[in-house]
């Protein structure tokens, strides 16, 4: 008789073609394969997560289980206090002799799989390489020592060349340039923009049941109301197809634009699906390249999307594993301020922060520039503890997982990892926020004033940061130009800036 082999599929690994299933099929017959998915109470209680994220994750897991059952697999869907407890219960019930799983994307999960799971279950455990990330298949920095400073541009070029994305026959990049970033910085127009609303999905009975369960949980951010995300492969693909057809053409030009009334503009909003396996990164970039080849989208938009997916996303994942486990405790600037209470209420006079924080609370989403140049910019200028900011991002966003949040927030957004992820701190005054969006029009603060009662806090906080860290910033060639602006401030104005910043920070605390 063939042995019973259990296949543990993690909740963020809902792949159409799962390597653990393929591996088990080589060892035994389908009738001896037992698939197990575990809803872990301990994992979801780790932080008060965005409720819509928990609905997305649990509904997608349950739909995935139904899909596998329709394909003829035996599926054990376990709800337990922890993943370990659920797996132990499963193995005992079905009498498994071996468990096969795919390596987790997060450090603690992979450590558990590789070092604890076999002893806990008392059976053989096989942990296969993770196939959700291209960098697990090809590492552009394989010869670099762990932790050595790396450059995203070189990483991106090698990824493009290796996977043959936007590469011509002579090995050169399509269009003659590796990136078209300078064509992707149009600000939000003063007259506004007409943007097509993204496709939404009516919750089915299974999803509604999950919504009711999550709504009963007292700990959490936001509500389950108006949940309309994709929870199956088919719907996730439909969401991506809608982006390609309706928004891709204008995505590049307005990639960095911000709007008080429109959180999505021309963005794809597929990261929640990509990060749990409902979509495949290589498939996505090949589909947008096909749109360019058909003449349905300009090169700057297509290259911009490709750079986000196989450039920045993979680069972030690479840095996560290169810097863990130390990354979570990094604090290069020695910031220790508590996160302001309005990050949970959205109640602040600063219109840009109010808009972005409230859309995170309401929907679990804001696009990357709002995350970097509004939220992280404010936290950097006010000296908020990187660990607190990291936790809030993990709590708030529907696409948030440790591997993507920590390098983006601690590394890039707060520059707390010593410049390993990003080579300069991304700080800016109100001028940038006003230039790229329309938040300032509805704000009681004056984006033009550096000091004074009506001055935007982003202004005096920005100049205070430059003054406080002038010598350190001058030593960085990428931030030196910003510091040169201090020559326009005489001693008296420097003093006014520092005094107003100090008063604001004292009140903030």
Query: How would residue 116 be classed by pLDDT, with cut points 50, 70 and 90?
Result: very high
pLDDT (0 to 100) of residue 472:
87
Average pLDDT over residues 300-308: 97
Query: How would residue 443 be classed by pLDDT, with cut points 50, 70 and 90?
Result: very high
Q: Contacts by 149-156 with C-beta closer than 8 Å and gap 24+?
A: 149/419, 149/420, 149/423, 150/318, 150/319, 150/322, 150/420, 151/423, 152/311, 152/312, 152/315, 153/178, 153/179, 155/311, 155/314, 155/315, 155/318, 156/307, 156/310, 156/311, 156/312, 156/315
Q: Nearest CA to 462 among 506, 431, 416?
A: 431
Reported as a single tens digit per residue, the pLDDT across 365-387 is 999 999 999 999 999 999 999 99
Reported as a single tens digit per residue, the pLDDT across 328-343 is 999 999 999 999 999 9
> Would you say residue 46 has pLDDT above 80?
yes
Angle, CA 13 vertex, CA 12 and CA 16 arms, to 5°: 135
Average pLDDT over residues 398-417: 97
Query: How would residue 2 be classed by pLDDT, with cut points 50, 70 and 90?
Result: low
pLDDT (0 to 100) of residue 475:
82
CA 221 to CA 51: how far, in whole Å?
Answer: 6
Mean of the per-residue pLDDT values for the chain? 94
Q: Nearest CA to 364 among 243, 219, 220?
A: 220
Whole-number percent of the chain with pLDDT over 90:
88
Reported as a single tens digit per residue, the pLDDT across 133-189 is 999 999 988 865 544 557 899 999 999 999 999 999 888 999 999 999 998 999 999
Q: Nearest CA to 286 among 405, 373, 159, 164?
A: 164
Residues 6+ apart with CB under 8 A from 461: 378, 381, 382, 501, 504
> Would you say residue 194 has pLDDT above 60?
yes
**CB 163 within 8 Å of CB 280:** no
DSSP-assigned letter for residue 98:
E
> Would you say residue 398 has pLDDT above 90?
yes
Query: How would residue 423 be classed by pLDDT, with cut points 50, 70 and 90?
Result: confident
Taken in order of first residue, the domains within the chain and their CATH numbers are: 5-131 (3.40.50.620), 136-195+247-323 (1.25.40.80), 342-508 (1.10.579.10)
Evaluated on CA atoms 199, 182, 165, 365, the torsion sign reads negative
pLDDT (0 to 100) of residue 86:
97
Average pLDDT over residues 397-414: 98
- Of 196-205, 437-446, 466-475, the one with minimum mean pLDDT is 466-475
Q: In the beta sheet, which residues pair with residue 38?
A: 78
User: Sheet containing 33-40: which strands, arranged edge to edge?
Assistant: 74-80, 33-40, 5-8, 98-102, 124-128
DSSP-assigned letter for residue 342:
H
Average pLDDT over residues 455-480: 90
Q: Which two tokens stand for residue 339?
A: 């996160």
Q: Which two tokens stand for residue 247?
A: 């928004």
Helix (H) or strand (E) holding 354: helix 351-363
* Cα 216 to the center of its chain, rounded Å: 27
Helix (H) or strand (E) holding 126: strand 124-128
Q: Nearest CA to 407 among 476, 478, 328?
A: 328
Average pLDDT over residues 90-102: 96
pLDDT (0 to 100) of residue 143:
61
């Amino acid at each position: 008789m063939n042995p019973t082999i259990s296949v543990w599929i993690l909740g963020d690994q809902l792949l159409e073609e799962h390597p653990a299933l393929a591996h088990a099929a080589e060892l035994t017959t389908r009738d001896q394969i037992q698939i197990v998915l575990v809803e872990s109470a301990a994992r979801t209680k780790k932080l008060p997560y965005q409720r819509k994220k928990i609905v997305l994750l649990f509904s997608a897991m349950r739909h995935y289980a139904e899909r596998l059952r329709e394909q003829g697999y035996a599926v054990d869907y376990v709800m337990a206090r922890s993943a370990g407890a659920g797996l132990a219960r499963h193995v005992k019930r079905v009498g498994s002799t071996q468990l096969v799983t795919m390596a987790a994307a997060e450090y603690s999960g992979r450590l558990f799989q590789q070092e604890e799971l076999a002893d806990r279950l008392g059976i053989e455990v096989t942990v296969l390489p993770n196939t959700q990330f291209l960098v697990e298949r090809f590492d552009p920095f394989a010869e670099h020592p762990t932790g050595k400073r790396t450059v995203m541009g070189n990483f991106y070029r090698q990824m493009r060349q290796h996977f043959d994305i936007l590469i011509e026959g002579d090995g050169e990049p399509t269009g003659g340039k590796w990136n078209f970033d300078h064509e992707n910085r149009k600000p939000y127009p003063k007259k506004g923009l007409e943007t097509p609303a993204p496709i939404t999905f009516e919750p089915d009975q299974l999803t509604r049941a999950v919504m009711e369960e999550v709504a009963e949980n007292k700990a959490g951010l936001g509500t389950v109301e108006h949940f309309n995300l994709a929870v199956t492969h088919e719907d996730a693909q439909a969401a991506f197809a809608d982006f390609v057809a309706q928004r891709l053409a204008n995505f590049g030009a307005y990639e960095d634009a911000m709007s008080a009334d429109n959180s999505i503009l021309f963005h794809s909003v597929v990261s929640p699906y990509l990060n749990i396996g409902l979509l495949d990164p290589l498939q996505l970039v090949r589909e947008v390249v096909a749109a360019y080849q058909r003449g349905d989208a300009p090169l700057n938009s297509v290259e911009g999307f490709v750079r986000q997916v196989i450039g920045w996303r993979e680069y972030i994942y690479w840095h996560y594993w290169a810097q863990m486990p130390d990354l979570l405790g990094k604090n290069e600037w020695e910031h220790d301020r508590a996160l302001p209470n309005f990050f949970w209420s959205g109640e602040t006079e600063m219109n840009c922060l109010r808009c972005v924080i409230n859309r995170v609370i309401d929907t679990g989403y804001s696009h990357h520039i709002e995350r970097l140049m509004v939220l992280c910019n404010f936290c950097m200028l006010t000296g908020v503890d990187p660990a607190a900011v990291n936790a809030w991002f993990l709590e708030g966003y529907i696409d948030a997982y440790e591997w993507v949040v920590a390098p983006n927030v601690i590394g890039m957004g707060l520059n707390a990892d010593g410049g390993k992820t990003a080579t300069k701190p991304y700080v800016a005054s109100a001028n940038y926020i006003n230039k790229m969006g329309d938040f300032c029009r509805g704000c009681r603060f004056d984006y033009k004033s550096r000091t004074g009662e009506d001055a935007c806090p982003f202004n005096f906080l920005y100049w205070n940061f430059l003054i406080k860290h002038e010598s350190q910033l001058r030593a960085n060639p990428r931030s030196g130009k910003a510091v040169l602006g201090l020559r326009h401030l005489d001693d008296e104005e420097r003093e006014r800036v520092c005094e107003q910043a100090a008063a604001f920070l004292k009140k903030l605390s």
